């Protein structure tokens, strides 16, 4: 896999298809006046981390004479357009960035003619943004016709979207097969830093939250062999408790998973106490701390308890390397005390130079205090991509660049 940083002279005067991940969270602002109807103008970007992360790559290409065509996608219940992203990016770069909409389909259509003309008339340093890739079914299907249509706009392809490189989509694996291709600096940085987990400093603490044990089985099995301590929390923790024979009431659990070998591993740490609330209204502040053996049929486990938090802090005190993906509770409803406590403790220990730390996953980053984020050794832009890379040590998007 070649880094564009080592071949930067090759972009001068070239149209560069730059795959980025601008799938940022978007929300709708409340109207200032009662009775005022909401419109697209009310939408705003909640967190522009992924956009600001890409600025160095865009600037590098522009300064070296590239004509930058950005490919990205967005998935939001509020919009299927990258228009808001384009406006924000234009402000950050202090330049006009056209949004090109109809760039695939009938080559004789007016939209295609406009898109081709826009690409062909670009000057060195220009930037354009192609509309949401996932408006085209050919993107998810890795349709060779769609990939060829994208490739026709560029002379060079760069993947700097680690967070979607676990998807075998046209813009990730189809286009690089048709053009000279390179890895961007963000992708190279992700691979370098996440790969440290394969030969870590010790003791090594691995923390995993979230749900769907069936999708994380291989990962847990692998790191029970690699790490010194493996804590499984969130809905995954309920799976472990159930497998150990504890009642879990109405808690979210995976189906059809056999955790027999996992629960017998001495490196595994399961919650030793839990926060529960009645399933009828689990957001009510009537939650209480229980021993896992005392969970009632109507209870729903919503977080790890304080004794579990203390146990994890003890393990953290011993550790020289920490990997963390996924909150330990339903943080959106305020069940986030262990997540915040662990996040702060890991950040502080890292800042003192007492350990290295790797964290990732959108929910993890959302649950951690913003003041702590800068203290971690490395913050991955990927959630699922980070987990898949940890499990398999490669991704479809990385293989496509090799």
Tens digit of each residue's pLDDT (9 = 90 or more) over 335-355:
889 999 999 999 999 999 999
Reported as half-sphere exposure (CB side, CA atoms, 13 A), residue 241 has a value of: 29
- Largest Cα span, the chain: 69
Are 383 and 211 spatial neighbours (Cβ–Cβ below 8 Å)? Answer: no
How far is the CA of 131 from the CAs of 20, 41, 65, 272, in angstroms? 12, 18, 23, 48
The span from the CA of 114 to the CA of 103, in Å, is 8
pLDDT at 282: 56
Q: What is the mean pLDDT of residues 136-164?
A: 96
Give the model confidence (pLDDT) of 76-128 as tens digits. Answer: 999 999 999 999 999 999 999 999 998 987 776 787 888 888 888 999 999 99
Listed range (39-48, 66-75, 279-288) with the worst mean pLDDT = 279-288
How far is the CA of 50 from the CAs of 80, 226, 247, 286, in angstroms? 18, 30, 41, 37
Quote the DSSP letter at residue 365: H
State both tokens at 30: 């409340």
Q: Could you tell me which of 123, 170, 115, 187 has the C-alpha nearest to residue 381?
A: 187
The span from the CA of 158 to the CA of 115, in Å, is 20
Rg from Cα positions in the chain: 23
- Name the band, by pLDDT with cuts 50, 70 and 90, for residue 36: very low
Q: Is the pLDDT of residue 30 over 80?
A: no
Could you tell me the pTM of the whole model?
Answer: 0.90
Give the model confidence (pLDDT) of 60-86 as tens digits. Answer: 999 999 999 999 999 999 999 999 999
Are 123 and 12 spatial neighbours (Cβ–Cβ below 8 Å)? Answer: no
pLDDT at 364: 87
- Name the band, by pLDDT with cuts 50, 70 and 90, for residue 285: low
- Name the band, by pLDDT with cuts 50, 70 and 90, for residue 39: very low
pLDDT at 381: 86
How far is the CA of 119 from the CAs of 15, 17, 56, 130, 152, in angstroms? 8, 11, 22, 10, 10
Q: Is the pLDDT of residue 33 over 50?
A: no
State both tokens at 78: 């509020």
Q: What is the mean pLDDT of residues 236-258?
A: 95
What domains appear along the chain, each with residue ranges and CATH number? 4-183 (3.40.50.1260), 192-396 (3.40.50.1260)
Please give the backbone phi and psi of residue 278, each rounded to the nearest 5 degrees, phi first.
Answer: -60, 135
Q: How many CB atoms lie within 10 A of CB 318?
A: 12
Distance from the first to the final alpha carbon of the chain: 4
Q: State the average pLDDT for the chain.
A: 92
State both tokens at 306: 């304080």
% of the chain with per-residue pLDDT over 90:
79
Q: What is the mean pLDDT of residues 277-286?
A: 67
State both tokens at 395: 């991704």
pLDDT at 75: 94
């Amino acid at each position: 896999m070649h880094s564009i940083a080592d071949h930067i002279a090759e972009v001068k005067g070239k149209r560069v298809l730059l795959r980025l991940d601008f799938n940022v969270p978007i929300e709708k602002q409340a109207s200032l006046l009662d009775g005022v109807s909401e419109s697209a103008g009310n939408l705003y970007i909640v967190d522009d981390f992924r956009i600001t992360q890409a600025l160095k790559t865009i600037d590098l290409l522009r300064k070296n004479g590239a004509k930058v065509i950005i490919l990205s996608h967005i998935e939001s219940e509020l919009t299927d357009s990258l228009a808001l992203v384009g406006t924000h990016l234009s402000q950050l770069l202090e330049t006009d960035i056209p949004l090109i909409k109809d760039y695939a389909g009938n080559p004789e259509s007016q939209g295609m003619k406009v898109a081709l003309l826009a690409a062909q008339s670009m000057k060195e340093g220009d930037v354009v943004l192609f509309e949401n890739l996932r408006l085209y079914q050919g993107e998810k299907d890795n349709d060779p016709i769609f990939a060829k249509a994208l490739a026709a706009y560029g002379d060079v392809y760069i993947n700097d979207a680690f967070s979607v490189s676990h998807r075998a989509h046209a813009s990730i694996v189809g286009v690089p097969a048709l053009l000279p291709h390179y890895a961007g600096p963000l992708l190279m940085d992700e691979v370098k830093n996440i790969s440290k987990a394969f030969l870590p400093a010790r003791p090594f603490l691995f923390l995993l939250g979230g749900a769907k044990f069936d999708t994380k089985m291989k990962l847990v099995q692998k790191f029970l062999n690699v790490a010194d301590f493996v804590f499984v929390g969130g809905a995954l923790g309920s799976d472990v408790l159930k497998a150990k024979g504890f009642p879990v009431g109405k808690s979210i659990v995976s189906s059809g998973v056999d955790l027999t070998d996992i629960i017998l591993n001495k490196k595994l740490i399961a919650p030793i106490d839990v926060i529960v609330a009645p399933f009828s209204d689990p957001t009510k502040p009537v939650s209480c701390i229980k021993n896992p053996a005392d969970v009632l049929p109507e209870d729903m486990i919503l977080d790890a308890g304080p004794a579990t938090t203390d146990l994890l802090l003890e393990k953290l005190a011993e550790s020289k390397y920490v990997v963390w993906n996924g909150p330990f509770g339903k943080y959106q409803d305020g069940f986030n005390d262990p997540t915040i406590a662990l996040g702060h403790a890991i950040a502080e220990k890292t800042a003192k130079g007492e350990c290295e730390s790797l964290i990732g996953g959108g929910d993890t980053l959302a649950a951690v205090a913003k003041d702590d984020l800068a203290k971690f050794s490395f913050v991955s832009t990927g959630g699922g991509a980070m987990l898949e890379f940890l499990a398999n040590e490669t991704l479809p998007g990385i293989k496509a660049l090799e």
